[in-house]
Amino acid sequence: MALSRFRTGAKVCAIVALMSLAGCGDQPSVLAPTTTQVGRDLVAQSAEINPGTEYAGGPTLTLYNSDFRYTSHSGGYYTDPQTWVELDVVAGEPIAVNWFGRFRGGAHLHSYRWTLDIDDLFDETPRINEATDLSHWSQPNASTTSATVGPFTAGEQHFLYVEVTDTNGFRSLAILHMTVVEAATEEVRRH
């Protein structure tokens, strides 16, 4: 009797499995023929990519200092103003910003780089001087985890761009939009 229950149960499981593969309602069937060609590039994974990372996306970035902390929720290269980190900075004072990346699916850190007020994010012109030519990307380096910029004048706006690249070649970008404000006087701070 137990044997017949098992067989009946197996039949029910097989029917349920076939129905779910065949789809129901508006869902497309996994079993239905398609006109989509699966190319070799979609089947074979590059030997240079760590397993499990093909769809993991880029690393996430955290920017921080004593006044703020921001962590991106997903990796990627986004320049939309809605993705900017907004920060008021005090006129006449330099600002230090630190960062670190978190990596997905077996990837590891390859390098960081940063720039201030670059005209074209994709301009790969090397810096003439690492300490003074801030409007070009710094040299990619795994140990570059901070930058100090400024001081700036009140009313100015500046953009600090930080990029991280992982060992699979995925890149992510964080944009810090700094608005320079006057320092509050002691009288204003007391109220």
pLDDT digits (tens, 9 = 90+) for 67-108: 999 998 888 888 999 999 999 999 999 999 999 999 987 899
Whole-number pLDDT of residue 3 = 47
Residue 183 confidence class, pLDDT cut points 50, 70, 90: confident
The average pLDDT across 121-125 equals 95
Which CATH code fits 60-181? 2.60.40.10
Residue 136 pLDDT > 90:
yes
Whole-number pLDDT of residue 15 = 53
Whole-number pLDDT of residue 165 = 95
CA distance 29 to 42: 21
Q: What is the SS3 assignment for 62?
A: strand
Residue 11 confidence class, pLDDT cut points 50, 70, 90: low
CA distance to 90, 101, 154, per residue, from 191 (Å): 19, 39, 22
CA distance 23 to 169: 37
User: Looking at this protein, which amino acid is placed at residue 83?
Assistant: T
User: Kindly report the CA angle at 43 between 37 and 169, in degrees rounded to 5?
Assistant: 120
- Write out pLDDT tens, residues 37-75: 433 333 333 444 444 444 456 899 999 999 999 998 888
Q: Do residues 61 and 172 touch, judged by C-beta distance below 8 A? A: yes
Q: Cα Rg for the chain, rounded, in angstroms?
A: 26
Indicate the domain borders of the chain: 60-181
Do you know the residue count of the chain?
191
Nearest Cα to Cα of residue 175 among 158, 159, 157, 154? 159
Residue 171 confidence class, pLDDT cut points 50, 70, 90: very high
The two tokens of residue 34 are 């398609």
The average pLDDT across 123-150 equals 96
Whole-number pLDDT of residue 56 = 56
Residue 10 confidence class, pLDDT cut points 50, 70, 90: low
pTM: 0.69
